[in-house]
Amino acid sequence: MRSAICAVAAGSLVLLLLAISRGAAAFQSQRPAQPQAQAQAQAQERHLRNLRQLTFAGENAEAYFSADDRWLIFQGHEGPDTCDQIYAMDVSGNQRRLVSTGKGRTTCGYFFPTGDRLLFSSTHLASEACPPRPDYSRGYVWPLEKSYDLFTANWDGSALRRLTSTPGYDAEATISRDGGKIVFTSVRDGDLDIYTMDADGANVRQLTNEVGYDGGAFFSADGKQIVYRAHHPTDPKQIEDYKALLRDGLVRPTTLELFVMNTDGSNRRQLTRNGAANFAPFFHPDGKRVIFSSNQADPSGREFDIYLINSDGTGQERITYAGGFDGFPMFSSDGKRLVFASNRNAAKTGDTNVFIADWVD
């Protein structure tokens, strides 16, 4: 995938895995796992039952449920010369349809709770073509496309409305369960920070202000908390490296920790302290647990699996064991199903697909 860094975006997944030794992240294995290894991994995944594959080709990720749990919105593309676009399909993998403009590069699709409108980020106003790939001569980096802005639209693409117009990167947006607030990441004040705004784009409020990257935020089901990923360098050399990359519209994602805060930015606390690339956190509907992806178990940094942790940072448990990449997990509103992206059962090297499973506590 080659997109922004949404929940950092699925678009960079393929490249990070090869370079992190994560675009959003190549969190991908170099070759498809063998059937025997897949069967063994699945046997260890005691929380997942009735696992089903919903997409079967290309790079597909960041699949998120609609409020009624009947639909999924996700980003994907197939082929090296195509850009991520936003699609929707039902939870059986049928009725797939393009719901973004089909122009530029898009990322971070999300349903409004009403189900009749969509939220996503897109570069199409700057150019209908795909933005160029970043320069990896400085190591593995994520591009922060300056032309990313947030848009809402109807399912058929009509009533397209631009919500952000400040210079620079605006992306990684999700919506509170009541539909009242959007949380997103922006460089509008000179750093990568988390902001909230009303669903119509009004009343923008900055929540984080520490030097470093803050992003990939999601609300808890009750709308009282926000979980997100962050990297806050403290060494002067690391800070200068971060700022130099940011000036060039880049960020290095090799170390990310998870944080929780109240929706006004108060009571900030750190969940993980493992020095790995932890990302795509999402609250369980009970508000007491967070599910996320991490490469903490692999010294080489290539293997990403899904983990569950209490919202106070205790009781971490590994959920997936398949080789390669497992990430972008999201619970259904009743907590009975889990959707995620994975390299498992890939038809060819580089494929990432959407899977859904019944959740067993």
Per-residue pLDDT reduced to its tens digit, 139-151: 888 899 999 999 9
Tokens of 250: 């880049």
The predicted pLDDT at position 33 comes to 57
Average pLDDT of span 5-25: 44
CA distance 203 to 196: 8
Nearest residue to 121 via CA among 65, 57, 187: 187
Burial of 185 (0-12, 13-18, 19+ CB in 10 A): buried
Count other Cβ atoms within 10 Å, centred on residue 211. Answer: 16
- Determine the pLDDT at residue 157: 84
27 or 77, which is more confident: 77
Residue pLDDT, tens place only, 156-185: 889 999 999 999 999 999 999 999 999 999
Return the SS3 of 165.
coil
Give the mean pLDDT of 1-7: 46
Q: What percent of the chain has pLDDT over 90?
A: 79
pLDDT at res. 17: 44
DSSP 138-205: GSS-EE--TT-EEEEEETTS-S-EE---SSS-EEEEEE-TTSSEEEEEE-TTSS-EEEEEETTS-S-E
Q: What is the pLDDT of residue 64?
A: 98
Tell me which of 121-135, 160-174, 232-246 is least confident. Answer: 121-135
Average pLDDT rounded to a whole number, residues 183-210 = 97
At residue 4, does pLDDT exceed 80?
no
pLDDT above 60: residue 30: no
Summarize the confidence of residues 36-44 as an average pLDDT.
76
Fold of 10-359: Neuraminidase (2.120.10)
Q: Where does the pLDDT of residue 21 fall: very low under 50, low under 70, confident under 90, or very high at 90 and above?
A: very low
Stronger pLDDT, 80 or 178, i.e. the higher one: 178
How confident is the model over 259-283, as a mean pLDDT?
A: 97
Alpha carbons 100 and 24: distance in angstroms, whole number? 18
Cα separation, 85 vs 99, whole angstroms: 8
- Mean pLDDT is lowest, of 3-12, 115-124, 207-216, 233-242, for 3-12
- In the chain, domain spans: 10-359
State the pLDDT at residue 349.
Answer: 87
Residue 300 pLDDT:
87
Pick from 12-26, 252-266, 318-332: least confident: 12-26
